[in-house]
Amino acid sequence: MKKILLGIIGFIGLVIPIQAQTVYVCKGFNYTKYQVTSIGDITFDASKMTMSIAGEELEISEIDSITFEEPRYDRIRIVYNGTTAAVTIPTSFSGVTCTSGNSSHVVINSTNTSQEFPYYLEGSSSNGSLTINGEYKLSVILGGVNLTSGKGAAIDIECGKRIDFILPEGTTNTLSDYAGGTQKAALYTKGHAEFKGAGTLNVTGNVKHAIAAKEYIELKGSLGTINVLGAKSDGIHCGKGEKGNTEDNIFRMNGGTVNISNCGSDCIDSDDYGNVKIKGGNLTLNVSQTDGSGIKCDSLFSMSDGNVTIAVSGDISNGIRTSYRGTFSGGKITGTVSANGSRGIRGKKASNTDDTTKNGGFLDFTGTNITLVVSGGTYTKDNSKCYGIKADQTLNQTAGDITITVSNSAASGIKAGTDTWTGGTRNGASK
């Protein structure tokens, strides 16, 4: 596979000037589309086990082919039309049955444990949904679908494996759950979810979360746009993981554009023992709720690239909150902190050493450029003060530019138990 792939990549280098403008990287029943002008250099790690294309790392062993023509695959096709849905299952897909007839609330049961089947959704229903029960990984291709559920989640994948959600370029997809239900999210998966494709996904969570996975959530470098228009609880939620596990319980963003607003709790929450890793893309968070966060993780936060824009207008809320350690090594953060007792960036220390937050409160700044405008005052119920950056234990800055403009005498730029500044710049960020 490695020799074949190297030959293909060499061929790409020869034909790009005169050939097609789109490259398709195929993996099983799925493919990711890249524009030739955005690929840049294709690089390999030292072991030649992974390659990087357009900033996205791919396992070479999982790649079947690289082509210039869009692949055509058999797929389970679900077409919504008001109160009905037409479901077509290829005869070659053994172990897959639809038990809901032509109802707009589609229920698929799969006993397959060896093949990754793709499900293609299109059409519209104001009272429709999709539930898939099974034990194996699969992909859901959102080919321009508009679903508002009248029972529970709009999409509920009860397979405890990796689920690919693919947004084809040029598509707009809208999902909303039933306001009278008990579901966990408008889009829910029992396993771990990966989002890719250059299309657009709009999601509203009327009962709890907008998007939720019991395990990790990853946004690939090829992602287009996800808009969380509102959520009763979290906009995007990752489930509980195992203590000390930094990969299976994580929100990872490699690219794309994500906009989240109108949440009742946190915009992004990586739950108990949860981690967050921002490696690229554009993230815009509006934190208007009281005692919420734009990004909340109970263990490790890291940012090495990308752009994060945060507006904190909810009292005693945080733009970014980590309960163990936050590491800021690259990218750019821009924010406004206008509510009483709010913080732009918070390293929180738990009072209980047995807590999942590991008694943290550490912030390390080694390269991220940060610009914050702070105008909030004191939260009178508990006298919480407004800060641009607050670390309950230690703050270390060795590089990067931090600019904090404070316009309220009751607020401060930086507060830390121990503040060590040995590199980078600070403007207006008094302790």
Predicted pLDDT at 29:
56
pTM summary value: 0.86
Sign of CA dihedral 380, 385, 388, 393: negative
Predicted pLDDT at 19:
47
Predicted pLDDT at 5:
47
Cα–Cα dist 359/338, whole Å: 28
Radius of gyration of the chain (CA): 23
Predicted pLDDT at 23:
82
Predicted pLDDT at 242:
59
How far apart, in Å, do the first and last CA atoms of the chain sit?
56
Beta-carbon contacts of 3 under 8 Å, excluding residues fewer than 6 positions away, are: none
Cα–Cα dist 120/283, whole Å: 28
Predicted pLDDT at 305:
98
Return the closest-CA partner of residue 203 out of 352, 386, 183. Answer: 183
- Please identify which residue in the block is written with the tokens 């005693």: 316
Do 202 and 176 touch, CB atoms closer than 8 A?
no
Beta-carbon contacts of 383 under 8 Å, excluding residues fewer than 6 positions away, are: none
Burial of 409 (0-12, 13-18, 19+ CB in 10 A): exposed
Per-residue confidence in pLDDT tens, the chain, 431 aa: 333 444 444 444 444 444 457 888 876 556 777 887 777 777 887 777 888 887 777 778 778 778 877 766 689 999 999 999 999 999 989 999 999 999 999 999 999 999 999 999 999 999 999 999 999 999 999 999 999 999 999 999 999 999 999 999 999 999 999 999 999 999 999 999 999 999 999 999 999 999 999 999 999 999 999 999 999 999 999 976 555 555 668 999 999 999 999 999 999 999 877 899 999 999 999 999 999 999 999 889 999 999 999 999 999 999 999 988 999 999 999 999 999 999 999 999 876 655 555 678 999 999 999 999 999 999 999 999 999 999 999 999 999 999 999 999 999 999 999 999 999 999 976 54
Predicted pLDDT at 431:
44
Predicted pLDDT at 49:
80
Cα–Cα dist 6/47, whole Å: 14
Sorted by where each begins, the domain ranges of the chain are 2-67, 76-427
From the centroid of its chain, how far is CA 2? Answer: 30
Cα–Cα dist 30/117, whole Å: 9
Instruction: Render pLDDT for 95-141 as a digit per residue (tens, 0 to 9).
Output: 999 999 999 999 999 999 999 999 999 999 999 999 999 999 999 99
Predicted pLDDT at 169:
92
- Please identify which residue in the block is written with the tokens 């730029």: 413
Cα–Cα dist 310/346, whole Å: 13
